[in-house]
Amino acid sequence: MTPPVARGGRVRNPSPPLHMQRDGFDPVPELSALRDEEGVAKIRTVFGTDAWLVTRFEDVRALLSRPDLYSNALVPPLRPPGAPPPSEKEAAEMRAGNLLGADPPHHTRLRRMLTPEFTVRRMRRLEPRVQQIIDDHLDAMERGGPPADLVADFALPVPSLVICELLGVPYADRAGFQRTTHQILDVSLPPDERAAAAAEARAYITGLIPGVRSDPGDDLFGMLVREHGDDLGDAELAGIGSLLLIAGHETTANMLALGTLALLRHPDQLKLLRDEPDRVDTAVEELLRWLSIVHSGTAKIATTESRLGGRTIAAGDMLLVSLPAANRDPALVSHPDELDIRRDALGHVAFGHGIHHCLGAPLARMELRLGFPALLRRFPELRLAGEPVFRSYTVVHGLTTMPVAW
C-alpha cells in the first residue's frame, strides 16, 4: 500500500502504531491477542522510540492510579526532529495550564479551580441550552433535506458550539481551531507540522486573554479570571483553554458520529433504544466502553523501577495504555466484543481513571444523552446513504464523513 502523503510532498508515517490500529469499530486482532497473551509488551511509538503498552483492564487502572510511579510531567514536549531540547523555561511555558502534562501538586491546583465548572449540577443548568443547540442543528438538517453528512452537519458542530459557549470562544473562529486540532491529533503528519499547529492553537487562545482580563464574562474563562486571576498567569490560562477547546469538541463529535453508526449497524440495539428511551444512560456508557475512541491518552514516564503486569518497568521507561483493549477485557464485562446497551458498563476506562480522569466527562455524557435520542426521534427512518469513512492516524478514533438519509 502506498503511504499517504502530507503537505509539501513528504511521506507520512506508513502505518499507525499498534495501539492506534482499528478494524472498523474494533481493536485489531493483534492488540486483543497481546492483551490476552502478554498483557504488557514493548511497542514502537510514532516517534520511533520504544514504550511499554499496557492492555489489561486491571493493569491499566493500576497504572492510572499511581502518578507517583508513572509521571505525565516527565514526558518531553512535542518537538520537530533535530530541534534542540527545550530549555527548562521553554518546557515550563509549553506545559503551563496543560492538566494532561502535569503531576500533583501542580495538577491538583489546576484541577481544583476547574472542577466546579464541570459538576453534574452545573451540567443540569447547561442542559436546556445544549438541547436548543442540538435541536437547531437537527432543524437545519431537516430543512436541507437528505442526503446529509452527519459529521459535518451534526456531530461536529454541536459540541463545537457547546464548548465555544462554555469557554467564551467566538464560534466564528471554529474553522481555524478545528483545522489546528486535526493537525495536532494526526500522528501521520511530520512532527514539525504538529508542533506548529500546537503553537498556533495556543497563540489563538493567548490572543483572547487580554479581552477576558479586561472584561471577564460569565463563561469559564471569565470565571477563572474573576476567581483566580491573580493566581493564574497568561501561559496557564492559554494552556487550560487550548486543552479544553481541543478535547471539548473533538472527542464528543467522534462519539456522536461513531455511536450513531454503531447503532445503525446494530439494528436490534437501535430498536431497543427507540422503544425504551429510558435506557439512554446505559446506552451511552456501553457505547463509550465499546467504542473507546481515545486510543491511549497521555504517555507516562516511570519515575522508579516497578512491576506491572508481570513485567519489570525501569525508571525512565515510557508507558502507554490501550483503552480499547482494556474496555474489551473479559475481566471487565462478559462477552466484551458484543455491543449490548442493556448491560451495566460503568467502571469502564473510556474517560481514563484516577487523577487524570476526563474533567469534561459530565459534559460529554450530557451531550450524548441528549444527542442520540433527539437524532433518532427527529429522523425515525435514519439510514446510511453511502459508505462512512473512518479516520486513521489520529489520536481520537472517528469518522471523516458519514452520509445519511431519512
DSSP structure class, residue 328: T
Whether 133 and 162 have beta carbons less than 8 Å apart is answered as yes
- Name the residue with higher pLDDT: 68 or 84: 68
pLDDT exceeds 70 at position 6? no
| CA angle 18–23–26, rounded 5-degree value | 90
C-alpha cell at 200: 498556533
Secondary structure of residue 248 in the 3-state scheme: helix
**Whole-angstrom Cα distance, residue 179 to residue 10?**
19
pLDDT in tens, 263-302: 999 999 999 999 999 999 999 999 999 999 999 989 999 9
Give the side-chain half-sphere CA count within 13 A for 149.
11
Whether 405 and 385 have beta carbons less than 8 Å apart is answered as yes
Predicted confidence band of residue 194 (pLDDT cuts 50, 70, 90): confident
Whether 294 and 27 have beta carbons less than 8 Å apart is answered as no
Backbone angles phi and psi of 188, in degrees to 5: -80, -15
Secondary structure of residue 251 in the 3-state scheme: helix
C-alpha cell at 336: 466484551
pLDDT in tens, 156-180: 999 999 999 999 999 888 888 888 9
Predicted confidence band of residue 4 (pLDDT cuts 50, 70, 90): very low
pLDDT exceeds 70 at position 84? no
Predicted confidence band of residue 14 (pLDDT cuts 50, 70, 90): low
* Unique residue bearing C-alpha cell 491511549: 296
Whether 282 and 345 have beta carbons less than 8 Å apart is answered as yes
| pLDDT (0 to 100) of residue 20 | 93
Among residues 133, 176, 129, the alpha carbon closest in space to that of 155 is found at 133
**Whole-angstrom Cα distance, residue 403 to residue 392?**
18
DSSP structure class, residue 247: H
Whether 250 and 179 have beta carbons less than 8 Å apart is answered as no
DSSP structure class, residue 140: H
pLDDT in tens, 215-271: 999 899 999 999 998 899 999 999 999 899 888 888 999 999 999 999 999 999 999
**Whole-angstrom Cα distance, residue 61 to residue 132?**
37
> What is the rounded (10 degree) CA torsion for 393, 386, 253, 331?
-70
Whether 176 and 182 have beta carbons less than 8 Å apart is answered as no
**Whole-angstrom Cα distance, residue 168 to residue 176?**
16
| pLDDT (0 to 100) of residue 45 | 87
Total-model pTM: 0.92
| CA angle 19–250–22, rounded 5-degree value | 25
**Across the chain, what does the average pLDDT equal?**
91
Whether 257 and 150 have beta carbons less than 8 Å apart is answered as yes
| pLDDT (0 to 100) of residue 344 | 87
**Whole-angstrom Cα distance, residue 134 to residue 379?**
13
Interhelix angle 361-378/234-264, nearest 10 degrees: 40
| pLDDT (0 to 100) of residue 78 | 62
**Whole-angstrom Cα distance, residue 107 to residue 74?**
13
pLDDT exceeds 60 at position 79? no
* Unique residue bearing C-alpha cell 481520537: 396
Bridge partners of 403?
A: 149
According to DSSP, the β-strands at 318-321 and 300-302 are: antiparallel
Secondary structure of residue 396 in the 3-state scheme: strand
Whether 167 and 241 have beta carbons less than 8 Å apart is answered as yes
pLDDT exceeds 50 at position 191? yes
Predicted confidence band of residue 9 (pLDDT cuts 50, 70, 90): very low
| pLDDT (0 to 100) of residue 268 | 97
